Amino acid sequence: MSTASPRPALAGLALLALLALVAWGPPAAAHEELLSSDPSESGVLETLPSRAVLTFTGAVAEVHAVTVTGPDGSVANGEATAVGAEVRQNLWAGPDGDYTLTYDVLSSDGHEIAGEIRFEVGEGTPVTGDEEAAARASSSSSDPAPDDALRGVVVPAAVVLLSGAAALVIRQRRREAREPA
């Protein structure tokens, strides 16, 4: 009496589980990003500071550009400098009004980080910490991203399938080892 070997099916199942693990594996390590800025996003300042400071989550390898533009144009004074995780840009005095600080730097992990920060100089209505926290809470969702939710199901299922396939292969090999040739 002959029985079909389960090896091709088990190999296919193991390959499918492995592909699922690779496709929805853990996310890559996070890249460096802007941690804080002075002036801060949406900040209201009485006077323009003499220096803008950007702090990143890791060291900055190269500064491509930092500009600070207000109602009368650029107020950047000289070239921006990077010291570790900080980028500093000296500023000229400027009039009251809206300002935009744009940055483009290369992090030590080789990835470009670019963005902009808007702030105001002069008499405005500063945003309090409670109002800012409430605005952040209302604009962000507590639901996980779809990829994260899917990963939370697919990865454990792939691990179970792979473990099951491995157990079946081991069981079959033990059975074949016990049968006389």
Count of CA atoms in the C-beta half-sphere (13 A) of 163: 6
- Give the Cβ contact number of residue 137 at 10 Å: 10
Using the predicted structure, report yes or no on whether residue 106 has a pLDDT greater than 90: yes
Render pLDDT for 133-178 as a digit per residue (tens, 0 to 9): 444 444 333 444 455 555 566 667 667 777 777 888 888 888 888 8
Identify the weakest region by mean pLDDT among 4-8, 14-18, 109-113: 4-8
Amino acid letter at 25? G
d(CA 64, CA 30): 21
Average of pLDDT values for 63-91? 96
Residue 58 phi, psi dihedral angles, 5° rounding: -150, 175
Peptide bond into 126 cis (omega under 30): no
The confidence band for 29, taking pLDDT boundaries of 50, 70 and 90, is: low
